Amino acid sequence: FVNIFYKYSYQIYAFQDTRKRKEQYVTSWQPRYFAYPKRTSVLFDFVQLSLLITKGRHQSVSLVEEAMTEI
């Protein structure tokens, strides 16, 4: 699931572009783990993670972020 999210989530966050820009500064990449509570949806948690990563890029509150705060 994470690989699919990385490849196709370009509209949410450009992971590939960020990695290309940072490759000049980073000599080796190490995998990281994503832990989430057992009773939650991994998709829901990835949406929250994406909102956290992109916070600050958009000054206005998006429809998705507004819906997430209501849940």
> pTM score, two decimals?
0.38
Residue 37: Cβ within 10 Å count: 7
Give residue 11's pLDDT: 63
Extents of the domains making up the chain: 2-70
Over pLDDT 70: what percentage of the chain? 54
Beta bridge partners of 55: 58
Residues 57 and 16 sit within 8 Å (Cβ to Cβ): no
- Selected residue with higher pLDDT from 9 and 33: 33
Give residue 48's pLDDT: 79
